[in-house]
Structure 1
Amino acid sequence: MLRFFCLVALFCFSGLAAAAIDTYEFSDDATRERFQSLAAELRCPKCQNQNIADSNSPIAKDLRVELHRMLEDGADDDQIVDFMVTRYGEFVLYRPRVSNQTYLLWYGPAALLLIGVVVVLVVSGKRKKVEPGKPKSGLSDTEKQRLDQLLKQEEDK
């Protein structure tokens, strides 16, 4: 009897797993490939670390439906991306466009690397100025003479 209930439960819940898979009919294979590449490039507004192809959120499902509709209506990739950016902002793109708002994002790491190289060169240049055989001390000649006298007095005791 327990086996019967397990089989019934398995049969009932197996339909739920199959319902989570979206199926779309495309007019040709090129459109299907465009759908897959665009769905992989567009970020889910809710999940943040998933694209709309991998996300199970309701908004990602709506975006996939809208993407499919736009592709079947004949929109090109730029029109679709512009529509998504207009509606959800630059956040929806995994690779934001270069604009006044994203200069820091695109060029900030290179600028930080350049600043780091300059700092390393300046610091290493200062270290080379010290003579290798002579240790650098911050004492003037009179202070050195006074130190020598004190050390000499200490040795005499």
Structure 2
Amino acid sequence: MAEDLIIATGSKAEQYQSLIPQIQALIEGELDLIANLANIAAALKEQFGWFWAGFYIVKENELVVGPFQGPVACTRIRKGRGVCGASWEKAQTIIVPDVEKFPGHIACSSLSRSEIVVPVIRNNEVVGVLDADSEAYNRFDTTDQHYLEKIVELIQW
């Protein structure tokens, strides 16, 4: 596939339904994890215009920032700390409508208002997380959760 992204309009679900086959085509046959994570983060940021979209990778009992799109990010996050660390610890997706109300939120940027974090689970172990932040409150919902969970399943980790 050419590395061109077709930006869809319509409902959020319709946008994801258009994006997922494009992500599949981008990563199909590519074995390099970092390249695939980078393209997924770029595709999500381009399609939805989020403030930040990217991945953290579990390395030696910490989440370490991986490929992302957006302003500079926290480099390392401990298990259980912030939304990313909580998602890792609980091995579940966490949607935060207002990050200021999340206990222990890590403010990598004061501009972030809402967040969703989806764990990447392989062999019953969290190996990384997909993190997305928005400058708007209440940006993420169960539609995002449904489709982002499908997207992380596509990744050959």
Per the normalisation by structure 1, the TM-score is 0.22
* Structure label with greater radius of gyration: 1
Asked which structure has the greater RCO (Cα within 8 Å, sep 6+), the reply is 2
Structure (1/2) with the larger helix percentage = 1
- Report the TM-score when normalising by structure 2: 0.22
